[in-house]
Chain A
């Protein structure tokens, strides 16, 4: 196996693992946040608009961790520094 094959295979496997494992925690957390917000909205319908805006902000914050792994996966797949290094060798 030459360097291209090793780097290519490792990049694809790494990107898949990065996206798969990285999205577990964030999706669980988002589900919990949405469930709590729905419960709060059901209990206090008058405060629904404020709860909804807070929920959106916190969902965006939680989502950030999954987005980091998405960006790392994109970086590995499309702008891989090791691949470019091997090509330039």
Chain B
């Protein structure tokens, strides 16, 4: 028999609760016998629903000419901007990285911008979400590399200067992805923590400044995450012929 505790959703973040790094994951909303849905998962469902709804709303009556809706124009501008950025960064001509970059960008952007709702605990301020996003990039690296350069070209990257560097290359591959997840987590967590600590001292106006700054850093973090994903996945391109 599932139990619903949706009153927990209204807990203000990190205030008067047991403060901790995993405290979002500890707030249970729906609990069954053996498992539970915590607030991180529930809030990422909200984010996904918003993205799907806005996309459906914008692509419902696709048109061209003078009857183009405002939402369609806005989303087209966003997609074209990110397509331009991804193609410029990766050097690809067939928009191959657009799907991954746009997916990561829109999820992180909506999750970070929803922090303007005081009760919303951004799912990106939980280590499990950011590490899952980083894992997506970790799996996308061999996919795009093998697509672009073949298995041989992908494996050659690991013995690139000399074969002695193999453990170093493997380590740096894993650690750069790990750092990507930690970066997003650290930025979002610090924003939420500063807001919570300030609101404990000066409850009314002062947290507003930090939260406004948090919107800016959240947008930049979404852009950086998407761009770094493109940079890492496009590191191996075509097979380089040895110069004689």
Give A residues with C-beta under 8 Å from B. Answer: 50, 53, 56-57, 60, 63-64, 67-68, 70-71, 74-75, 78-79
Q: Judge whether B193 is part of the interface by a CB distance below 8 angstroms.
A: yes
Contact B224–A56 (Cβ < 8 Å): yes
- In the complex, 11 of the A-B residue pairs with CB atoms within 8 angstroms, ordered by the A residue number, are A53-B227, A57-B227, A57-B228, A57-B231, A60-B183, A60-B220, A60-B221, A60-B224, A67-B182, A67-B187, A70-B186
User: How far is A67 from B20 in the complex, measured between Cα atoms in Å?
Assistant: 17
| Of A50, A53, A57, A68, the contact of B182 (CB 8 Å cutoff) | A68
Contact in complex: B19, A78 (CB < 8 Å): yes
Whole-angstrom CA separation of A60 from B231 in the bound complex: 13
Within 8 Å by CB of B186, from A50, A71, A78, A79, lies A71
Could you tell me the distance in whole angstroms from the C-beta of A29 to the nearest C-beta in chain B? Answer: 15
Contact (Cβ within 8 A) A53 B89: yes
Q: Bound complex: CA of A74 vs CA of B89, how far in Å?
A: 34
> Are the C-beta atoms of B182 and A79 separated by less than 8 Å?
no
B22 CB within 8 Å of chain A: yes
The A interface, classified by DSSP as helix, strand, loop or mixed, is helix
Instruction: Find A74's partner among B88, B179, B189, B223 (CB 8 Å cutoff).
Output: B189
Contact assessment for B228 and A79 in the assembled complex, using a CB-CB cutoff below 8 Å: no
* Residues A56 and B227 in contact, CB atoms below 8 Å apart: yes
Kindly identify which residue among B22, B85, B182, B224 contacts A71, using a CB–CB cutoff of 8 Å.
Answer: B182
Residues of chain B within 8 A of A60, CB atoms compared: 183, 220-221, 224, 228
Chain B residues whose C-beta falls within 8 Å of the C-beta of A56 in the assembled complex: 220, 223-224, 227
Contact digits for B146-188, partner A, Cβ 8 Å, 1 yes 0 no: 0000000000000000000000000000000001001101110
> Is the beta-carbon distance between A78 and B21 smaller than 8 angstroms?
yes
Contacts of B183 in A (CB 8 A): 60, 63-64, 67
Contacts of A74 in B (CB 8 A): 21, 189, 193
Complex CA–CA separation, A56 to B204 (angstroms)? 32
Q: How far is the CB of A22 from chain B (nearest CB, A)?
A: 12
- Residue in chain B with minimal CB distance to A77: B19
| A79:B88 contact, CB within 8 angstroms | no
Q: How far is the CB of B174 from the nearest CB of chain A, in Å?
A: 15
> Whole-angstrom distance from the CB of A73 to the nearest CB of chain B?
10
In addition to A57-B224, A67-B190, A70-B190, 5 A-B residue pairs with Cβ atoms within 8 Å of each other are A53-B85, A53-B88, A71-B182, A71-B185, A71-B189
Residue of A nearest to B22 (CB): A79
Contacts of B186 in A (CB 8 A): 67-68, 70-71
Give the residues in chain A near B189, CB-CB below 8 Å: 71, 74
For B182, list chain A residues within 8 Å (CB).
64, 67-68, 71
